Amino acid sequence: MSGDVTSLSTQIAGWLRENAPLTFEKLNPPADEPALAELASALNTELPADLSELLRNFDGSDARDVTGVILLPPGYQVMASSEIASDTRQRASIWGDAWQPTWIAFGNDLCGGCLVLDTGPQPPYGRIFQFDEIDGPFGFAWGSLTDLLTEMLALVEGRAVRLAHRIPYDYPRAPDPLKPVVQNGELEWEVG
């Protein structure tokens, strides 16, 4: 799937440039190889190829205002490579055994929740899911970063693609639909 994340990121960036320019302007330039090597070293693991590829397209956002950087559904900013390791370590120290050592927090909702990439050696390797400071893993989940970006692109283009599922898996209903909303040049997400 090499190249899928780049293709999707390029299409998403093009859509943002046209439709949500203030969100686009708040994205950092691509991460360079030394920044990615430093992140891998700080996490003490090889970075998953799709996460590296995403950060090579844009290195998250350092903007701290609540609006305008909420790029990923259902309301997360992509963290910069310089923040990912420290955020992941902080969550591990707070959550203890509930936080798996194979999890990498890469999206932040600025309210204590995060999007997690599961790098475990067996399925669900590569899964993306929401993690909340109260409930732990919950809500929306995707089979991969490519699935998340595919759904995001489809949603902003007005196409219906339902790649998200609900966790825990025994949750009695499918996730509520996600809807992108652009207000004053900034992308936001509504659920429901």
Torsion of CA 152, 54, 182, 88, to 10 degrees: 100
Task: Give the residue from 45, 49, 48, 47 showing the smallest Cα distance to 2.
Answer: 49
What's the CA gap between 114 and 41, in Å, rounded? 21
Half-sphere exposure in the Cβ direction for 97 (13 Å, CA): 0
Average pLDDT score over the chain:
86
Q: Is the dihedral of CA 62, 78, 183, 25 positive or negative?
A: positive
Structural contact between residues 117 and 145, judged by C-beta atoms closer than 8 angstroms: yes
Local confidence band at 2 (pLDDT 50, 70, 90 cut-offs):
very low
Query: Would you tell me which CATH number, out of the four given (3.40.1580.10, 3.40.1640.10, 3.50.50.100, 3.40.50.300), belongs to the domain 4-191?
Result: 3.40.1580.10
> What are the structural domain ranges in the chain?
4-191
Asked whether the predicted pLDDT for residue 8 surpasses 60, the reply is: yes
pTM of the model: 0.88
Asked whether the predicted pLDDT for residue 167 surpasses 90, the reply is: no
Asked whether the predicted pLDDT for residue 131 surpasses 90, the reply is: no
Q: What is the mean pLDDT of residues 36-59?
A: 95
- Top mean pLDDT of 22-36, 116-130, 157-171, 173-187 is at 22-36
